[in-house]
Amino acid sequence: MLVHIDSPLKRPNWLRAPAPAGENYRELKSLVEHLQLHTVCESAACPNVGECWNHRTATFMILGNVCTRRCGFCAVRKGAPLEVDFDEPRRVAEAVSLLGLRYAVVTSVNRDDRKDGGALLFAMTIRAIRERVPGCKVEVLVPDFQGSHAAMDLVMDAAPDVLNHNTETVPRLYRQVRLGARYERSLDMLAYAKASRPEIPAKSGLMLGLGETMAEVVQVLRDLKAHNVDILTLGQYLRPSPKHLPILRYIPPQEFAEYRRIGAELGFAHVEAGPLVRSSYHADYSHEAAAATPSAC
């Protein structure tokens, strides 16, 4: 059970991200607004938005910017879902082309109002990017589709270069952190995706600092490896607002280094772990590392 604290923890000096600024940042922001697109970088208040946008990388968020679930950690708006915009895949592909991207990351809000959970639009977006920018690699960060294997089939048939689905936290904290989700269901969807297309790397991630123990995190790593996940990300949870779950602990860099060591020892093809690491942080590098590892195929 999460324990709420009255006074917030002081953010340590080593947990600092550059403020959003620069010509590339302004250009990308203008382009996203012009094409009426959403990015998880802005909607989820990612601390790396300045760094990533200045390197001309962004994670596009399809299916609107209103989520049907009410997870206690997430800054994305919650409420009645928006109408599905079937022109969105074309506009995402146009943005990828105008940005000259060779690696694109696409995610979405949860769409529990739809039978396929939005899987069809993921498939359409993958294909639209490939058609508009041949050779561009596409990573997708998908929701759990409420456990629908048929929905996952729609995505995997479009052959993303990486299939990512985050477990987010340890099983004990799911009721507080991931409302509407189930740990076993997330593991099942990852394993199913990998079994359906073994050549496509599977990826998952956790955020730390919500009250989990190191032993619990290591057990999740073991579970993910047992379900054939190839790429792992671990980062520090940062509270988006006073309405969200509190930070119970700042994880020091040396502990993240230990998770990297354990992940490598368990046999993950690549582990990205650090205070500011997020699901799509250094995604292109993670894919290259996994593609070079035989066990990821």
Query: Which string of DSSP letters, residue by residue, matches the chain?
Result: -----SSPPPPPTT---PPS-SHHHHHHHHHHHHTT-EEHHHHTT-TTHHHHHHTT--EEEES-SEESS--TT--SEESSPPPP-TTHHHHHHHHHHHHT-SEEEEEE---TTSTTTTHHHHHHHHHHHHHHSTT-EEEEE---GGG-HHHHHHHHHT--SEEE---BS-GGGHHHHSTT--HHHHHHHHHHHHHH-TTSPEEEEEEE-SS--HHHHHHHHHHHHHTT--EEEEEE---SSTTSPPP--PPPHHHHHHHHHHHHHHT-SEEEESTT--TTTTHHHHHHHHHTSGGG-
Starting at the edge strand found earlier in the chain, the sheet holding 162-164 runs: 38-39, 59-62, 103-108, 137-141, 162-164, 202-208, 231-236, 270-273
Cα dihedral: 24, 29, 30, 33 (round 10): 160
Single-letter amino acid, residue 93: A
Residue 185 tokens read as: 């269901």
Can you give the pLDDT at residue 297? 47
Side chain identity, residue 189: M
From first to last of its 297 residues, the chain has per-residue pLDDT tens of: 444 444 467 777 776 655 555 565 566 667 667 666 666 544 444 554 445 544 556 678 899 877 676 665 566 667 777 789 999 999 999 988 888 888 889 998 888 899 999 999 999 999 999 999 998 999 999 999 999 999 999 999 999 999 999 999 999 999 888 888 999 999 999 999 999 999 999 999 999 999 999 999 999 999 999 999 999 999 999 887 788 889 999 999 999 999 999 999 999 999 999 998 887 766 776 777 777 776 554
Class of residue 16 by CB neighbours under 10 A (exposed 0-12, middle 13-18, buried 19+): exposed
Torsion of CA 104, 277, 180, 149, to 10 degrees: 40
Angle in degrees, CA 181, 187, 193, rounded to 5? 110
Give residue 31's pLDDT: 66
Fold of 23-296: TIM Barrel (3.20.20)
CB atoms within 10 A of CB 106: 25
Residue 65: Cβ within 10 Å count: 18
Tell me the β-bridge partners of 233: 205, 272
Q: What is the pLDDT of residue 76?
A: 62
